[in-house]
Structure 1
Amino acid sequence: MSLDLTRLQTVLDGDTDILLRRDFQHPPAKVWRALTQPALIREWMAVKDHPMTRCDFDPRPGGTFHFEWQGPDGNSFFFSGPVIAVNPPHHISHIEYFNGDPAMSARITTDLAPQGSGTRMTMVMRYHDAEARAAAIATGMTDGMDEVYARLDAMQIPA
C-alpha cells in the first residue's frame, strides 16, 4: 500500500528534525522553477491575510534569499539566509533564519525526485536542538504549508 502524498506529510524525526514529504503533478524541473524563481514563488507562497512584500532568491551556492510577509496586525516577519548547495533541478540546501535570529535557524535540505510523471519533494528542516525545533513549531511555521504547496501543485508552471 503506497502513501497518499497529495497532501503534505509532516513527521518529527529524532530531536531536531522536521521531515516534510509531498508529491506534485509537475516534473522536477517545473517544481524547481516554482521553488526558486521569485515571480513564481510569489504566486504560491502568499498566505491568506499575510501578503508577501519581498521575495528575493539567488539559488546558487553563496547566494541568498529573503522572503517577507506583512501580518494582519501590520507587523512584518521574514525568513532569510545563505544558499549552501545546489544541484538543479534535484537538490538545494540553505540556512533559514526567522527574522534574522540565529537562535531561530534551521538547515533546510530539499530534494526533488521523479515520481511517475510528477515529483516527490522531501524536505528536512534541521534545528540546533529539540528546544529550537519546539520554538519554531510554536510560532505556527508549519501552519498553512499544506495550503501553499497545494497552490504550487495547482499552478500553471511555464515550460
Structure 2
Amino acid sequence: MTAYPVNPDLDLVLERRVDVAPELVWRAWTTPELVMGWFSPKPWSTVACEIDLRPGGRFDTTMRSPEGQEFPSSGCILVADEGSTLVFTSAMGAGFRPIVTADGFPFTAVIQIEPDGAGTKYTATAIHADASAKKSHEEMGFHEGWGAALDQLVELARTL
C-alpha cells in the first residue's frame, strides 16, 4: 500500500479499526447504491451517487439536508487500488477537468483500507491546500461527521 504523507498543518485524519472485512468496506465505498446508504451523517441523506471507478472517473454525490436542500458535489477519482486505496478530489471533475466553485474549499480524500485481524484498519485523510481550508473543514465537523458516516458504513456493511 502506498504511503501518503500527512501534513498536520493542512490535513485532517480519521483512523479507526472496525469489525468488518476490508472487502466490505471497499464495496461500501465503491458501489453507488451502497454509498447512498451511509455517506451522509444522519439526519442528512445522500440522494444521488455516480462512481466511475478508475483514475479520471467521476465521484459525484448529492447530499440532502433535513430541510430538503440539496448539495451536489462533483469529484474526480485519482487512485482506485482495488480493495485498499481510494483517492478522489473535489478540485476536479471527471476526466481530470478542473472545477471552479464559488463556495466551499477543494480537498482531496485518501481512503486507506487495510486488513486488521478479522476487521479493518480504516484511515480517511482530507488533504487541504492551506490551513484556512483545513480549519473550515474541521469547524464544519470533519471528525464528527466522517466518524458518524463511518459508523453508518459499518452498520450497512454488516448486512452485506
- TM-score category (smaller protein): 0.7 to 0.9
* 2:67 aligned residue: 73
* 1:90 aligned residue: 84
1:147 aligns with 2:141: no
Superposition pairs for residues 115-134 of structure 1, below 5 Å? 115-134=116-135
TM-score, normalization by structure 2: 0.79
Give the secondary structure class of the aligned counterpart of 2:9: coil
Does structure 2 retain, via aligned residues, the 8 Å contact 1:13–1:19? no
Offset at residue 55 of structure 1 (A): 1.2
* 1:52 aligned residue: 46
How many residues in Structure 1 have an aligned counterpart in Structure 2? 146
Report the Cα distance in structure 2 between the residues aligned to 1:52 and 1:92, rounded to whole angstroms: 19
Offset at residue 157 of structure 1 (A): 4.8
Report the Cα distance in structure 1 between the residues aligned to 2:100 and 2:17, rounded to whole angstroms: 30
Query: % of aligned pairs identical?
Result: 25
Offset at residue 117 of structure 1 (A): 1.0
TM-score, normalization by structure 1: 0.80
Does structure 2 retain, via aligned residues, the 8 Å contact 1:82–1:95? yes
Offset at residue 90 of structure 1 (A): 0.5
Give the secondary structure class of the aligned counterpart of 1:146: helix
**Runs of 4 or more above 6 Å deviation:** none
CA deviation profile, 1:6-50 (whole Å, cap 9, x unmatched): xxxxxx952100011122212211110011101111222243232
* 1:8 aligned residue: none
* 2:115 aligned residue: 114
Report the Cα distance in structure 2 between the residues aligned to 1:70 and 1:35, rounded to whole angstroms: 19
